[in-house]
A and B are shown apart, each in its own frame.
Chain A
Amino acid sequence: MTELGSLVEKVRSKNAGPFWLTIDVFCGNSDVFTRVAALPTARIAALFGVDPAQMKRFDIAELNVVKVSVPRPVVQGTRADRDMHGAAWGCLLAELEID
């Protein structure tokens, strides 16, 4: 078991407009990509507390990128929002232990 963040080049989380968050995992090479792409969607969705059915996932082998997009649990900038730019979400994925 290894932390995902120690294997990949970068985990980037950003808003995709005020109502969506998108997290890009730049794996760097195909070996790491294969390990990250093996992550079950349900496990990623659970990290973010979202319904897996609402999550969009793109495993892009040509770029060695795994991308997930989720509706923001709280809309950007509303009273309950803690992270205006969606910056901290990627940390949850970076700290995930993977095989």
Chain B
Amino acid sequence: MRKLIDMTRVLIPTGALGLGYDRAALALGVANRPDIIAVDGGSTDSGPSYLGRGVSKYSRGSTKAEWRELMQARAEARVPLVIGTAGTCGADAAVDWLFQITEELAAELGQKLRVTRLYSGQNATFLAKALVDGRVTPLPAAPPISADILAACTNIVALAGAEQIQAALATGADIVIAGRTTDTALIAALPLLRGDHAGAAWHGAKVGECGAIATTNPASGTIQIDFDARGFTFTPLGATARATPYTVSAHMLYENSDPFILHEPGGHLDVTAARYQALNQREVRVEGSKWVPGPYTVKLEGARIAGYQTVALALLRDRRYVENARAWADDVITQTRARVAARLGLASDTYDLEIRLIGIDASLGALENHRPLPAEVGALAIVTAPTEALAAEIAKMANPYLLHHALEEDEPMPTFAFPFSPAEMQRGALYEFCLNHVLHSADPMAPFRLVVTEVGND
């Protein structure tokens, strides 16, 4: 579609930096003269360890390779490049990690840039006071929290919305590296700033946040969305990718517990009355989405250490052991626990020892209702203990049983397959998410910080 003066064109290269995209589609997007390039850098979907440690899930090499191409696309398009939830988790350390990569690339590419960092990290003491004041409140299915739990978090972040991205853009940034943001905010920010339809801005952002997932060719990655005063137009840029009213409307289902409502800082999106129209074989027009303003809140995420883990894997191939795998595993646990009590003097509730049976019910546990016998069973022993050393010690105590434990006392000693030496694998700290709350903040910027830096050279 030809670009009109009163529309905002957002180019979304991929659903997440590190996932890859179609280069030709990205080049087409740049040629279409976008007003901004926006890309997501993460989510909670891979679990609490990334937030807990403040690190990226994707490799530095992959991230740098893709970020290099996006920085080149930005230079060509001469518009701001914005990334949200940098380094998978959006913790301050992950923002600085991507900033360092950006500095290296600016030097390598000969680019002189203004880079604005938006930090989302939160102070536990400040939040503990806000909790007492009633300014931290739970969302549905939230765990109970306290000042102690907040203090135990290794990282707490708040999810920035459109206002904070707009503030970062207002610094004159060529590149914005944002910490934790909502997936949608980085796409909605510029259309909202320019007065486009608010319901369309958030709805289009939700459809676009995963790149080409809302098309017939998700792997093509790159899409473009035009926002205006009445709605938005969704255009896939991959050569074979098509968007239809079905692919676009169905995307509200994706990773969203309610397919009609999406909560954002300062209100919620309601798409109940949205109308989806095919403009042609591949583009979709959407109007009728509604933005409902509400109190200004930002969601909080936090992760803390819940112990340390060592795991070991034994493989049962003997048919009699496959048939009796659960009884065997229960026996191994009982024997190991007795030895831990006798030799380490540890109370049974100070650590956890579990054996998951891969091939039987490892993914669903008690909910599994499908029980044909497999050829073999993987016995995954998981020790969780208060220290790394203790977890390793207990796993080593389980080792003789995992290797040789017999179902009957009077049978010859069996031996089971171990894929590795050493048999034990130290997983380090086990992190857990412990916040599902919002922080009420009259000033959207109060919980966030901006740092503006000039990097690189001509």
CB neighbours (8 Å) of A71 from chain B are 140-141
Q: Which residue of B lies closest to A15 (CB)?
A: B45
Q: Which of A25-79 contact B (CB under 8 A)?
A: 26, 47-49, 56, 58, 60, 62-63, 65, 67, 69, 71-72, 75-79
Given that A15-B45, A63-B249, A63-B250 are known contacts, is A82 also in contact with B362, CB under 8 Å in the complex?
yes
Q: Is the CB of A60 within 8 A of B259?
A: yes
Q: Mark B339-376, 1 if CB is under 8 A from A, else 0.
A: 00000000000001000100000111111011000000
Question: In the docked arrangement, what's the CA distance between A89 and B47, Å?
Answer: 17
Beyond the given pairs A18-B433, A48-B367, A79-B430, 16 more chain A to chain B contacts, judged by CB atoms under 8 angstroms and listed by A's residue number, are A15-B44, A18-B301, A19-B139, A19-B140, A19-B141, A19-B433, A49-B367, A58-B258, A58-B260, A75-B143, A75-B433, A76-B433, A82-B363, A83-B364, A85-B46, A92-B364
Given that A71-B141, A79-B352 are known contacts, is A56 also in contact with B258, CB under 8 Å in the complex?
yes
Q: Mark B228-270, 1 if CB is under 8 A from A, else 0.
A: 0000000000000000001001100111111110000000000
Q: Is the CB of A49 within 8 A of B433?
A: no
- Report how many A-B pairs have Cβ atoms within 8 Å: 102
25 chain-A/chain-B pairs, Cβ below 8 angstroms: A18-B48, A19-B140, A19-B141, A19-B433, A22-B257, A47-B369, A49-B366, A58-B258, A58-B259, A58-B260, A63-B253, A65-B250, A69-B258, A75-B143, A75-B432, A76-B433, A77-B47, A77-B431, A78-B432, A78-B433, A79-B307, A83-B363, A85-B45, A88-B363, A91-B364
Q: Is the CB of B362 within 8 A of A16?
A: no
Q: Which residue of B lies closest to A68 (CB)?
A: B257
User: Closest Cβ of chain B: how far from A14's Cβ, in Å?
Assistant: 5
Most buried by A among B48, B249, B253, B363: B253
Q: Which of B424-442 contact A (CB under 8 A)?
A: 430-433, 436
Question: In the docked arrangement, what's the CA distance between A56 and B253, Å?
Answer: 13
Question: In the docked arrangement, what's the CA distance between A62 and B250, Å?
Answer: 10
Q: Which of A15, A56, A65, A82 contacts B255 (CB 8 A)?
A: A15
CB neighbours (8 Å) of A79 from chain B are 306-307, 352, 384, 430, 432
Q: Which residue of B lies closest to A84 (CB)?
A: B47
Question: In the docked arrangement, what's the CA distance between A83 and B142, Å?
Answer: 19
Q: Which of A15, A24, A49, A76 contacts B253 (CB 8 A)?
A: A24
Question: In the docked arrangement, what's the CA distance between A57 and B47, Å?
Answer: 25
For the residues of B in contact with A, the DSSP-based class is: loop
Q: Is B56 among interface residues, defined by CB-CB distance under 8 A?
A: no
Q: Which residue of A lies closest to B258 (CB)?
A: A56
Q: Is the CB of B362 within 8 A of A69?
A: no
B: residues with CB less than 8 A from A are 44-49, 139-143, 246, 249-250, 253-260, 301, 306-307, 352, 356, 362-367, 369-370, 384, 430-433, 436
CB neighbours (8 Å) of A92 from chain B are 364, 367, 369
CB neighbours (8 Å) of B259 from chain A are 58, 60, 65, 67
CB neighbours (8 Å) of A77 from chain B are 47-49, 431-433
CB neighbours (8 Å) of A67 from chain B are 253, 259
User: Closest Cβ of chain A: how far from B333's Cβ, in Å?
Assistant: 15
Given that A17-B44, A84-B47 are known contacts, is A95 also in contact with B370, CB under 8 Å in the complex?
yes
Q: Is the CB of A76 within 8 A of B352?
A: no
Q: Is the CB of B364 within 8 A of A88?
A: yes
CB neighbours (8 Å) of A60 from chain B are 259
Q: Which residue of A lies closest to B369 (CB)?
A: A92
CB neighbours (8 Å) of B430 from chain A are 79
User: Closest Cβ of chain A: how far from B88's Cβ, in Å?
Assistant: 13
User: Closest Cβ of chain A: how far from B153's Cβ, in Å?
Assistant: 14
Question: In the docked arrangement, what's the CA distance between A79 and B47, Å?
Answer: 12
Question: In the docked arrangement, what's the CA distance between A13 and B123, Å?
Answer: 34
Q: Is the CB of A84 within 8 A of B46?
A: yes
Q: Is the CB of B45 within 8 A of A19?
A: no
Q: Is the CB of A17 within 8 A of B384?
A: no
User: Closest Cβ of chain B: how far from A94's Cβ, in Å?
Assistant: 11
CB neighbours (8 Å) of B369 from chain A are 47, 92, 95
Most buried by B among A79, A84, A87: A79
